[in-house]
Every structure is written in C-alpha cells, then in structure tokens.
Structure 1
C-alpha cells in the first residue's frame, strides 16, 4: 500500500476536490514519461544545477506518484494545524490538472474515508508518519493502525512509559546518525584548501593560534598551532591534512615524523582514514601523535561548533535542532 504526506497548505483543497497533488510543475505533464529514466532525464534537463542525488530522489517520487500508486491503494495527507490525517483510497489514474493548484498540477483522484486524529495512533505509527519526503510508502502496520483509529475513534492501547521512551530514543538516535552522516558528506565535499581551513578553525576554537601553510610544498606540515601563534610557546602542534579516498599508510606517517622536533606534538588528519600499519606507526612514534579520521573531525567540530569563528562556520554551516528532554 502506498501513502503520501503533503504540507498542510492544500489539505482543504484535497479534501473538497477529492484529489491529491504534487509539484515539480516546471517539467510539464508526466503523461508520456512512463519510465523512471525518462522522468529523471526531464528533471535533469529542467534543473541542470541539481546534483544527481536530488535528481534521482525527485524522479523516484514522481514515478511513484504517476505509475506505482494503483487504484485502491490507501493514501493519507496531513493537516499539521489540527494534527489530523485524512485517509482515503486512490480512485483514478494519473492526470495533469493545473486547476487544482498551479504549483502542484500532478494529480490523482481520491475517495476520502475520513479524518484520523494523530493522538489516536500508536507511538510507532506517529514516528513513521514523521517522514519529511513529499511522497513515501508506509508499512502495512501503519495503515492498519490508521484504519483501526478511523473505525474505533479510540486511542491505541496505552504504551508502557518505557516503550514510549525507547521509541522516542530510537527516533532521536536515527536523526543523530543521519545528521552526522550528512555532515561527513559535507566535509568530504570540501576541497583540500577549505578542509585545511576547517581544521585550523577547529584548533582556534580549542584555544590555539594557527599559521596555515600556503598551497604547494610544505615539507610535511600544513598548519602550525600554538598558544602564541608562532610556535615558540609549548605546545607546538604540527598538523598534516590529507583529503583523499584511500587510507594513509605507514610510509606517510614515517615521512611526517621525520621532520619533527622532539618537543613537537603531531596531528595527522585524513578523510580517507588510516591503514593498520599507519596506526601501529603512530603508536610507536617518538613524539605524541594523534591520528584524526573524518569521524573524529566531525565529532570535534560538532562539540566545538559554537566556539568556531564565523569564517569557519561558513565552511560547514550547521543548524541546531531541539528535542524534547
């Protein structure tokens, strides 16, 4: 069974006109675009600046709306102002109809069965219905819960407090994990110069002053961090930044260590990670040496984000979200 969730802007229009509709109006009718590949090609032509992932995501939702949703499939839309879901069944094939809404001309007819209060649903169903996509598929369990609530007008059997807390914690953990992965994607998309500036900005947020080497041969160091900014005061941290796909091996670690002074501290940052031999080489290094992967870098940036200067935050813009305590 398929289900769509839309913003509340057109909730009343959907209900009154017995339809659902989605946008992407600039690409024109989908009538003759009968494959996902054809839709993707049209999306890419219409918005050439879009990244492949955005093209694929839009094409997938449009194809699902046009072709995968069948007559008789359940569909649900949401009014966030009233916290109610409108439950119905697909009643017609895809059509192009700008009269419903000029910005959302891709239309399917619907036979609406009625409204369901969000408060009547189980915690698991409410979590599933929180997806942010314009169009997505719900599990059979969620559809069954919507049908139960619509028929009985009674809330789900009371969840144990612990079960509710576990469910909420699972959602929070999922959001955290996705946020970290998306942040790592953004860091990985930086060029080498900006990555170097991000590392330097992190060190400044941690109380050091930095000198960043210009592009070119740097004799094994990209950043010097120290309390005074000149490297005279201890600790003097010498930083090497490598932005690549492959893992750093032990030869690179030995080369980095070869030019260090006994009082130096070393930090080696690699977005491609480190080989087992490189880890061993760092453990037996003659000076304190810390190896920082992209995971370590993102964790450190998040922990110190509020202390980053504006220039560094602009390299990796992050938004704060609030979650019920």
Structure 2
C-alpha cells in the first residue's frame, strides 16, 4: 500500500489553540471569499492579480498554487503537519475531506479543511533537518524529504523506515520577500531549537534551575536556588535588594521539559505566594490553555515558555558566565525584519 501524501500548513501567529480544538487547518485571503468557487489555477490568478498591490504581481503564481492545492489537490486521508508557533508544538493530523468557509466573523483564516488530529509533539522530537523543511516559506507545501519521519512519528510506518529520503522537488518558486522572510524565520526557529536541545542534553533539572537563576541575575535580580529537596514547589527565589528583605519577592518554579505544563503545576506555585510575592514559572515547552488563563487572571503570575526563555538568553547573552556561553555558543547576526505572514 502506498504511503499517504504529507502536507505542511502555516497559519501565522495564532495566539490560541482554535485550529486544534476545532479540528481544522485554514488559509487566509479573506478578500477572495469562499475559494471553493474558483475552479482552477487560472481563476485564482485572475482574482489575485486584481487584488495585488503594486510591485507584488510576482507573488501571484505562488499564491494561486497554494490556493489551488488547498481547494482541489488535498484529499481525505492525506496527512497534514501544522507547526504552531505560539506553543512550539508540531501537530500532525489526517484530512477528512471536508472543506468549509467561515463567513462574517472577521476571521483572517476563513477557508478551512477539517482535520482529525493524530498527535501533538514538541519540536525537539524531530530532527533539525525535518524542522527546517516544515519551516517552508509558503503557506501550504508538500513535505517530501522528511515525510517518512512524520509518518513514523504517528505510527503509519515502522520507525526504522523514517530516515529514507525522497527526491527534493520544489513545488513553486517564492517571490523575493517570501523567501527572505523564510530565511529570517528559520534562523530564529533554528536558534531556539539549538538552545533548547543543548539545555535538554547537557543540564540536569537542578542545573537548569541554576541557569534560570543566573539569567535572572543578568537581568538585575539577586537570585538563589533553593535546596534540592523539600522546596515546596519553589526552585529559585529572586529579589531586587541585596538582602532580600524588601518586596517584591519573586518565587520561581523551573521545569526542564519541552512538553506542555498544565494548570495544576502552576496552581502549586500560586499556593506558595504570600503578601508582596510574585510567581514566575519557567519551562522549555508551552502551557495549557487553563494555565494561560490563570496567568491572565492573576496579576502576580508570569509564565515563561521555551521560546521566551531563549529570547531572554539572547538579550542578556553578553552577561552570561563563560560556562553558559560555552554550553550555548551563539554569535550575533542580522536578518531581515519583515512582517509575519
């Protein structure tokens, strides 16, 4: 039996789990309306050309190809990979064949395909080469070189069959801005992947707590790691005055995990807080919706996920102790700062 086609879909910077909870993937172009009304690529090209801003006509063939594939080429049983940026998860599902259009609610992604989600995995579960491929520059694309790694992850082929690589065939040629934006985005994502992999491979849970404390010190706090046992859910205590007598006092819980942290663990930290004390939770993964709701409703709580922790390391890299710069060797580069799709 032949292996299913594997597609990749980017949905911009969704700030929540709507596509996961709703069982769909979606693309934009709300100005085109219901894209099921366009029968072929030429119809898409005509409609896009009428809307194209001056100087962006070169992007029309690429965009028409994306829209045509999404509407007419993807079929029930195909596999889809959606890397969600807000929580750094790789979501894998199967198309059911149903297409829909959401009208009138202001959604920037109104054209949808229904998906049965099969699994949600941290990025470090995949090879860096596979992550680079799913960071493609277009909204919708075929995953070819590392399709078998994806299929093995969800158990459709044996794991030992995953490394096989097929020919690298490009679906389209991107316009300059799209390709340049891809390089910038991929540089950022690859750096975050590298830093998190290094921490996971070389630091124990306690050593990770020490790193968090050190980063806080680089930010201007005085920080100390609590004893390894009987810490009551508090791993680091930080404060602005040298003796730690003056509020605010920041109690920090550190989890060296790339998976999702739920509200029970966050609530444990909240239970330790007294007057003039704030809670900070740091992990290398993401947080559940209920945990994020806790943060929104508790002004004394702050959640730092893996991507945000990497950003803090980058911002204060010059102040890091030599042992940490040796663990995480980085150098400053400049990449184009283009708007996110």
Q: In terms of Rg, which structure is larger?
A: 1
Scaled by the length of structure 2, what TM-score is found?
0.44
TM-score under structure 1 length normalisation: 0.46
